[in-house]
Amino acid sequence: MPTGNYIRQNSVKTRLAAGLAANHVEGFLQWLRERQYTPLTVIERERLLACWTDWACEAGYAFETIRDAYKASYTLIGSGYRSRFRGDLHKDAVECAKLFIIYLETCKVLDSLPAPTEPALLVEFRHWALEQHGLAETTLGFYLHVIRLFVAYMGEDPTTYTAATIRAFVLERGQNVSQCRVKGIIVSTRSFLRFLVATKRCPSGLVHALPRSANWQLTSIPRFLPDAEIERIIDACDGEHRLRDRAIILLLARLGLRASEVARLTFDDLDWSQGHIRIHGKGRRLELLPLTQEIGDAIVAYVTRQRPPVPTRALFVTVVAPVHEINRIVVKCLVNRALTRAGIDSPHRGAHILRHSAATAMLRHGVSLADVGAVLRHRDTAMTAHYAKVDLTLLSAIAQPWDGRAPC
């Protein structure tokens, strides 16, 4: 038997080297390590990526069409495709491909590649909405979802749009949905029509094709939790592994921040010398709120004792790999879990219940309506007055005199 050094061939690395991800594998693996993936998980992701790239190459895809390859594989798995042998395409491999594409987008590698096909009207509307109206990404995302359906229904030629067909679209989409959803469809469609009018693609009269939906604003009692339950929620975020949750809950419950505003906070938004937090509010407005001792201590504890060292200026990041900045959905789920741990039985379990609770708590403790409106950053004073319904004394302060005749 011959002697000598034998090198075992690594089939995974060989398959990756021959696939469409060959030039970016090592960078992807290092990116995973920087985001706190464990060594065993990194190895598993490498194997899954090899499975997916094998399928993509056999299906005739190249790196230039990697987004199309992912879309096709996702559709294939959704249609019920099952692996035929070890190493074949399966759900976990497709999820790994999605993670790989996120890495490529993060590193700007895909900037030079063709973007997913999108009607030119929608691409131009996105830029118009962001630059001219300063819409938040979350709001714009909802608008675009409705507008994609609108364009698919109406076609890409605005000169063919009529008031009758526009109303027909809204009536069809509005069947079997809530009143709030119908209002969202109307607002999104009207915004798109305003864009078409502004760019001289259709006559201005079409903006008025959709009447306003019935809406009884500010008629309900504000949803809020009493002070004792708020304290229970904060106490439910004790322990070293929940320092992030505690800091976020305090920002929501004490300052009445929105979930998206918390998610967008960065280290640059904290002014420790002046005791201010800079908030990125609606319409790209930048506003200052006080950085209280309680909130400051919670943030310092999180940053120094729990936050992992990741290359991002975002203040709050995820606690499991891949570690990256959080979004408003993470904040919403975090609040929901805190309510459950605190034993709070409330039908409203999102982050906004804490904003309402902060407003009503300030009013009950003697803070004026004007000051509450300044903290919540309301543009309309009627929104702030809505919270006065929780206190009859405050209601009497804002009630208007009755001009009618006295009853018999």
Q: Enumerate residues 6+ apart whose C-beta is below 8 A from 309.
A: none
- List the structure tokens of 193: 């029509």
Structure tokens at 123: 């691409």
What whole-number distance in Å separates Cα of residue 363 and Cα of residue 237? 26
For residue 390, give the amino acid letter.
V
Positions marked catalytic? 258, 282, 352, 355, 378, 387
Over residues 17-46, the pLDDT tens digits come to 888 888 899 999 999 998 888 899 999 999
pTM for this entry: 0.71
Residue ranges of E strands in 193-272: 270-271
Strand partners, 290: 276
Where on the phi/psi map is residue 343: left (φ > 0), alpha (ψ -120 to 50), or beta? left
Least confident of 30-39, 73-82, 186-195, 389-398: 389-398
**Cβ-contact 318, 307 below 8 angstroms:** no
> How confident is the model over 361-403, as pLDDT tens digits?
887 777 887 888 888 887 777 677 666 666 555 555 555 666 6
The number of C-alpha atoms within 13 Å of 62 and in the hemisphere containing its C-beta is 3
Q: Which residues pair with 276 in a beta bridge?
A: 271, 290
Q: Is 227 exposed, middle or buried (0-12, 13-18, 19+ CB in 10 A)?
A: middle
Going by C-alpha positions, the residue among 52, 54, 30 that lies closest to residue 96 is 52
Backbone angles phi, psi at 380, to 5 degrees: -105, 125
